[in-house]
Amino acid sequence: MLAAAEQLMNLDWLNIQAAAAVSLADTTLLNADTMGFVYELKMALKAMGDMRAPKPTFSTDQIPDLTGRVMIVTGGNTGIGKETIKVLLQHNAKVYMASRSPQKAEAAIAELKEETGKEAVFLELDLTSYASIHKAAEEFLSKEEHLHVLFNNAGLMLCPIDMLGPEDYDLQWFTNVVGVYTVMAPAHFGALTGPLEGPFLFTKLLLPALIAGKASSPDGHTRIIATSSSGSYLGIIHWDTLKDGPARRKTNSQELYFQSKFANVVVTRQLAKRYADQGIIAVSLNPGQCDIIAVVGP
């Protein structure tokens, strides 16, 4: 898929769109290999199109008063997470900044307090550690009965290939997917159409508070919001690369990142389908091109 994207970079934008339109319109003439390329082309076009996204029609000024709402933002001490917390504080939400480094979190909380007059609550969370995830969830649940929005924002990007998580999982996969959702059954995801089994960690451990939160939410719903990426358009899940081994070593950090962002979309959609009847709305998003510092390792 990366090869398709690289080819596109050498072609004129309008010619790309025209060629793709013709190919997609007459798929009856295409064999399986060509169909695969057309799909890759379509996804690469979508990713490139997001780089030219129009100006937003929504402003943060349109966010209603969030007094009484409790929210968690993972990876909240920098980048998208920090900006999210800033806006939530400005609208009177109680926000937990779930971050790995106490020093960085405390500095970010102090800075946000100067800017907003409101103070976020630090929640220590290291998504590369089972113990830390359990501890963070237990600490939150000891303080709050209701959780109205969980922003699954934290993640790693483009780690060196030799970086691994617990149980020899690829570090990006573990941090961006397993540590966040932990819907991992014995065979990685297991059957996604079956009941969610496994340790479930952060999101799973917080589900009781999310389900309870609908009672105090004005619209009767709570939310799980996952920060994905335009890279999700360029990735699929290669099951033999999730843990370290020959297949993983033959790929590269970018491909591993893309598949983790694609998994964010897949898992969030499953959460939406499975918990809709319990009042939970789950969505994933592509934040677009952002001027942020990428976290490349623990």
Strand order in the sheet with 280-285: 121-124, 94-99, 70-74, 149-152, 222-227, 280-285
Of residues 174 and 183, more confidently modeled:
174
Average of per-residue pLDDT values in the chain: 78
Tell me the residue type at 57: T
**Helix residue spans in the chain (DSSP H):** 2-8, 13-25, 32-50, 79-90, 102-116, 130-143, 171-173, 201-213, 246-250, 253-275
Q: Record the tokens describing residue 207, joined without a space.
A: 């589900």
What is the residue extent of each domain of the chain? Answer: 67-285
Q: Using the structure block, give the residue that is written with the tokens 């942020």.
A: 292
Q: State whether CATH 3.40.50.720 applies to domain 67-285.
A: yes
DSSP SS3 for 148: coil
Pick the catalytic residue from 232, 261, 275, 284: 261
| Nearest-10 Cα torsion for 142, 143, 148, 152 | -70
- Given a cut of 80, is residue 77 above it in pLDDT? yes
Measured distance CA(95)–CA(97) in Å, rounded: 6
Query: How much is the average pLDDT of 67-86?
Result: 94
- Given a cut of 70, is residue 34 above it in pLDDT? no
Query: Which element (helix H / strand E) includes 71?
Result: strand 70-74
Pick the catalytic residue from 257, 260, 275, 284: 257
Query: How much is the average pLDDT of 101-118?
Result: 97
Query: How much is the average pLDDT of 185-207?
Result: 50
Of residues 242 and 291, more confidently modeled:
242
Q: What is the percent of the chain where pLDDT is above 70?
A: 71
Q: Is 257 a catalytic residue?
A: yes
- Of 9-18, 192-201, 243-252, the one with minimum mean pLDDT is 192-201
Short-list 80, 83, 202, CA closest to 147: 202
Pick the catalytic residue from 228, 232, 253, 284: 228
pLDDT digits (tens, 9 = 90+) for 120-157: 999 999 888 888 988 999 999 999 999 999 999 887 77
Q: Which of 123-127, 142-146, 165-169, 179-183 ranks highest by mean pLDDT?
A: 142-146
